[in-house]
Structure formats: C-alpha cells, structure tokens
Amino acid sequence: MSAAASTDTDARPPTLTVAVLAGGRSSEHAVSLSSAAAVRDGLLAAGHTVEWLEIGRDGVWRHDGAAVSVSPAGGLLGVDVVFPALHGPFGEDGTVQGMLETLDVAYVGAGVTASAVCLDKVLFKELMSAAGIPQVDFLGVRCERFRLGPAEVLADAARLGLPVFVKPAHLGSSMGIAKVTSAEALPGALEAAFAHDALVIVEAGARGVEVECGVLGSLSAERNRAGAPAIASEPGEIVLGGEWYDFDAKYTPGGMDLKVPAQISPTAARRVRELALEAFLTAGCEGMARVDFFVDGEQVLVNELNTIPGFTPTSVYARLMAASGIPYPQLVDRLCRLARERHAERAAHGY
C-alpha cells in the first residue's frame, strides 16, 4: 500500500472550501447525517473550510436554515468542491450527481452513470456477469411481474436453493432485507421488500466469510508513476455478533467487528483486491468505493459495490483505509483533490 500512503504533500493545493451534502430524501437519512458529520470533522481536521448543506426528507436543500437557490453552471455556494455524504436513492443513485454536473461544480465520488448502475443491485450484478466477474447467484424480481405471475417467480427463486436473502434493489444499510429459510416465507419477504422498492433482488446464500475491500482513486501524479487508476485496501473480515449482517449488526455497538487483515489465505486476499479493482473499473467508478465479498477457502465471490460507503471513522471503509496507511483526515482531503482533478480534466474536453 505504499502508493496509497503517498500524498504528494509538496503538491497539495491550498485550503479548500467544501460543501458537505448531508441527509437526503431516502430512508437512510439518519445514517447519512452521521456520515456527513464525520466527513465535516475530518475536513476541518485537514485544515479545510466546511459549509454544511442539509437535504431534508422533504427534498429541500438548506444552508444555515434557508432554502438554497441554484442556477445551471452557477456552482454551489461558491465552494471549491462538494462532498456528497448521502446514502440510498436521491443521493447515491446519480440524481444528485447529475445536478452537481449541471451546476458545473467538482464533487467527490462516482459520476452519474456509475452511481446509477451500482445502486441498482440487479443492474450491477448483470454488468458483473457480462464482464465474467464471479459473484453470488441472484434473481431480479419486479413488483408487477410478481403480481401477475407469483408462481413463476417462486419457481425461478427455488432454483437458488435455501437460504436466500431478499433485498430492495436500491437501498443500502441492510434496510428492508430478510433472510428466508423456507419456501413458505418467500412471498412475505418479497412483499415486505416491495414496500421499499418496485425492484427486488433475491440472492442465493453463500458459504464462507464476509470480506470487504476499499478502493480509492489514484491522483494524477501517482498514475504517472505507477499507472494504476485506483488502489485497493487491505481486505477486512466482518465478524458478526449475530446470525447475519443486518441493520442492527451494522449500526448497533457490538453487532459486528472488523478484522484487518482478513483471516483468509494470501491467495484469496490477492484475489479480493484484484476483483475489487476490476469491479470498480468495470462499473466506471471514480474516487472511492467499498466492494463486499464472500470468501470460502480460495473461492472469492463479489456481492455488492457501494459508491458512497458509510463514512464515519469507525465505518468499515475508513477503517480499511486507516489500516492501509491513510488516516481519516488525509482520506477526505485526498477525495476532494481527486474530485478537483476530475473536474479540471473534464473541462479540458469539448464534448
């Protein structure tokens, strides 16, 4: 991880003014507020100026308690870069990224296309399948299809075996997920997931341990030296206090522990890092991502990719990067510099 630890301090830009986008319209609003507060504190520790911009559950953008008015190509609050710390629909799915593109402002993380693809769990898995990336078997189910032909859907799902995990296709933070251990319970789990999303994914149960790997974009000076567009962190292993990695396990103290490095073979660890980078680049991601895996011996399967992972200093992504030589203030600073580089590079093209 020597490339990851390099910061080119002699080329560091001047202090930035960063707008941290917090909250959002989705059911992950509270989680996003927590991530955004940590990002703000990290940016302040790195010496930057922060403007807090909160998106309410009503969708209104507010700064200092007042609704924000914007104009195309007019930037946002005069800041140098925007750091979206948003999770789920209306923030992590390309909608906010599209607005920031329209405003012509630099922003952290994946662009419109990659954000939209990666938040759609079904579309992401179909892309990984087309690229030949090994992953957990799955079935995408639209609400309308289930209403018109439930028996056909249940027959298709039966081919995945048991247990299966039923998830809303466009949510994170393990919201709306059910572990199904009997065929009789599947219809109810589908109905519960449809309450969150019109598209649901049914995933086959996977053996082995859950392993996560962070990916971080490379600055131009690093790309010139090593040629790698991104770097992968040391893999970490999720050790659960309960049966599976649900919302409580993620956000309740003691619900999970993270072992870094993961207790897997050196060969499997190398494969995790290789596949993390491959998934990141195949999806067209930029800036950052956390890629989740199941590892069973030497078998490594991709599960999901998160373009805006949880971002508190105790969240998995930040801990993986810290264990790989990039402390939290340096991480958020680096992401802002990556955003500004991308914005400048795109401005050089006429399109």
Residue 124 belongs to domain with CATH number: 3.30.470.20
Q: Using the 8-state DSSP alphabet, how is residue 135 labeled?
A: B
Least confident span in 8-17, 124-133, 170-179, 268-277: 8-17
- Active site annotation includes 236: no
182: in domain = yes
Catalytic residue among 41, 174, 251, 284: 251
Taking Cα atoms as reference points, which of 275, 302, 308 lies closest to residue 172? 308
- Active site annotation includes 28: yes
Contact indicator for 278, 258 with CB cutoff of 8 Å: no
Is the pLDDT confidence value at 173 over 50? no
Do the bridges between strand 49-55 and strand 17-23 make them parallel or antiparallel, or are there none, so unpaired? parallel
pLDDT digits 0-9 by tens, 96-155: 999 999 999 999 999 999 999 999 999 999 999 999 999 999 999 999 999 999 999 999
Give yes or no: residues 159 and 242 share one domain: no
Taking Cα atoms as reference points, which of 320, 310, 240 lies closest to residue 36? 310
What pLDDT score was predicted for residue 247? 52
Q: Taking the mean position of all CA atoms in its chain, how far away is CA 4?
A: 19
**What is the domain-level CATH number for residue 193?**
3.30.1490.20
Give yes or no: residues 268 and 339 share one domain: yes
Domain that holds residue 47: 2-109
Give yes or no: residues 56 and 153 share one domain: no
**What is the domain-level CATH number for residue 48?**
3.40.50.20
* Residue 261 phi, psi dihedral angles, 5° rounding: -75, 160
What pLDDT score was predicted for residue 266? 98
- Active site annotation includes 310: yes
350: in domain = no
With 0.75 as the threshold, say if the pTM is over it: yes
Taking Cα atoms as reference points, which of 262, 279, 274 lies closest to residue 320? 262
Catalytic residue among 173, 218, 315, 324: 173
294: in domain = yes
Instruction: Give the percent of the chain with pLDDT over 90.
Output: 83
Give yes or no: residues 76 and 195 share one domain: no
- Active site annotation includes 35: no
